[in-house]
Amino acid sequence: MNFRDPAQYTEDFISYLKAKNPRENEFHQAVSVVVESLAEFLVKNPRYLQAKILERMVEPERVIMFRVPWSDDLGNIHVNRGYRVEMNSAIGPYKGGLRFHPSVNLSIFKFLAFEQVLKNSLTSLPMGGGKGGSDFDPKGKSDNEVMRFCQSFATELSRHIGPNTDIPAGDIGVGGREVGFMFGQYKRLRNEFTGVFTGKGIEWGGSLIRPEATGYGTVYFAEEMLKMRGDSIKGKTVAISGSGNVAQYAVEKVLDMGGKPVTLSDSNGTIYDPEGIDRKKLEYVKILKNGYRGRIKEYAEEYNVTYFENQRPWSVKCDVALPCATQNEISGEDADTLLGNGCFVVAEGANMPSTYEAKHKFLEAGILYAPGKAANAGGVAVSGLEMTQNSMRINWTREEVDQKLKTIMVNIHNTCVKYGQNPDGSVNYVKGANIAGFVKVANSMIAQGLV
Ligand SMILES: NC(=O)C1=CN([C@@H]2O[C@H](COP(=O)(O)OP(=O)(O)OC[C@H]3O[C@@H](n4cnc5c(N)ncnc54)[C@H](OP(=O)(O)O)[C@@H]3O)[C@@H](O)[C@H]2O)C=CC1
Ligand SMILES: O=C(O)CCC(=O)C(=O)O
């Protein structure tokens, strides 16, 4: 590898990564963006190159893959695959969510775990990074089927996790219901009540504001970016994708701040409500999605608004875009459409929702663009606060947790500015987040010897 020329170093490193991890496209994408941001910094700070920190960081400390057998309500047997990627524990125990979705594979979990390491570092809380889940699809399953699956999954996972080892939480397809079933099984197997999961119910060890944290935090981050330009969310038209946990609370915080959310989506299509999704309509979405687990199309029927079948929200005119569904949901073409329509703020509630092309278009356009590892870090940050409350056997109030969340998001924003500000005063938040997240983990790895 060429240790003198940043562009050549980047190319060499990506070739090395691809040769070692063939066909893991999402993982290549996530690492490529980070290496591009870091290359110049690494060339100027060769001790990280000499210690082969990046080579070590892209190799998970441990990957666990396992069989998850379960039976449906008719007694038919199904076999899914479970995963946990324990990526890096340099600054704390592995921490990160579980995703249940039929599309998952090892590449997706490695990209998510790699992003999680840098994200958790940015929160300033002592958490390493991990991610896991299964190709199980909770959609269309009864509560009893989901419980049997979760019990089977947690039975194997319980051997690998613990309150000081690895603390999973929710992600796509895993919310309070699933965390409850897994926590219950873990407790039964270990005969101990510990904070081994976060995102727990409020009556049994959960933290206030954890459900809200990712969506709220994303909007707090967008507000901080706007503040740098003497602007705010107030009066802005906001396009939001997804209609799950992150999207719902992003809508709620945009409303709190005087903005107008106009879209939501799911994997079947997008609703466009030009009058704005108000609090009453948001309550409808929460019942639709969290209660009876319906489709977003039903919103269009209820409120007589446009429904774009099989389309994403990015063709709608907006000032701010908050992608809150899944990875690679904004293509290069979508980015062109957003920019052409005057969108000038993108804050990623989801993990890596912008493709490699889209990300570069946003950076070249010089808009306010916050990558997921910075903008959506509020979720795992409040998970960290849940761990603290569990250890101390106390519960903070809603206001206390929200205030701490706000402070963490402001600090992450300022850290990105510190490492990502250009000579003309503009900020490359991608570069800022990647360098800041990296430095703390890299220094800790060096301090701990060759591990
Ligand atoms: N929950 C958290 O605390 C955090 C979540 N994130 C990230 O935020 C994103 C959303 O997570 P969360 O809200 O928790 O998950 P949910 O399962 O609650 O919601 C996911 C939403 O995204 C949609 N979606 C999922 N997959 C696809 C797809 N392939 N194409 C189109 N739409 C899709 C879902 O639609 P449908 O119902 O049709 O599947 C649903 O509306 C993810 O990227 C996650 O990694 C990041 C930080 C923390
Ligand atoms: O709260 C957590 O531990 C995990 C959140 C998460 O999965 C994420 O930040 O992507």
Q: Structure pTM? A: 0.98
| 49 and 71 belong to one structural domain | no
| 224 and 131 belong to one structural domain | no
Is the pLDDT at 2 greater than 80? The verdict is no
433 is a domain residue: no
Ligand nearest to the CA of 131: 2
Query: Is 131 annotated as catalytic?
Result: yes
| 17 and 104 belong to one structural domain | no
| 225 and 350 belong to one structural domain | yes
| 253 and 167 belong to one structural domain | no
Write down the pLDDT at residue 275.
98
Give me the catalytic one of 18, 20, 110, 131.
131
| 255 and 224 belong to one structural domain | yes
Each residue's pLDDT tens digit, 333-391? 999 999 999 999 999 999 999 999 999 999 999 999 999 999 999 999 999 999 999 99
Looking at ligand 1, which residue's alpha carbon is closest to its atom 2? 171
Q: Considering the chain, what is the average pLDDT of its residues?
A: 98
Indicate whether residue 250 lines ligand 1 (CB < 6 A).
no
Question: Which residues are annotated binding-site positions for substrate?
Answer: 95, 116, 119, 170, 383
Of the residues 320, 337, 370, the one at which a domain ends:
370
| 253 and 338 belong to one structural domain | yes
- List, in sequence order, every residue forming a beta bridge with 97; answer none if it has no partner: 169
| 114 and 235 belong to one structural domain | no
Q: What are phi and psi of 104, to 5 degrees?
A: -70, 155
Each residue's pLDDT tens digit, 289-346? 999 899 999 999 999 999 999 999 999 999 999 999 999 999 999 999 999 999 999 9
**38 alpha carbon to ligand 2 midpoint, in Å?**
24
| 72 and 47 belong to one structural domain | no
49 is a domain residue: yes
92 is a domain residue: yes
Looking at ligand 1, which residue's alpha carbon is closest to its atom 42? 350
**Residue range(s) defining the domain that contains residue 186:** 62-193
Looking at ligand 2, which residue's alpha carbon is closest to its atom 7? 97
Confidence of residue 3 (pLDDT cuts 50, 70, 90): confident
Ligand nearest to the CA of 324: 1
Each residue's pLDDT tens digit, 35-44? 999 999 999 9
Confidence of residue 4 (pLDDT cuts 50, 70, 90): confident
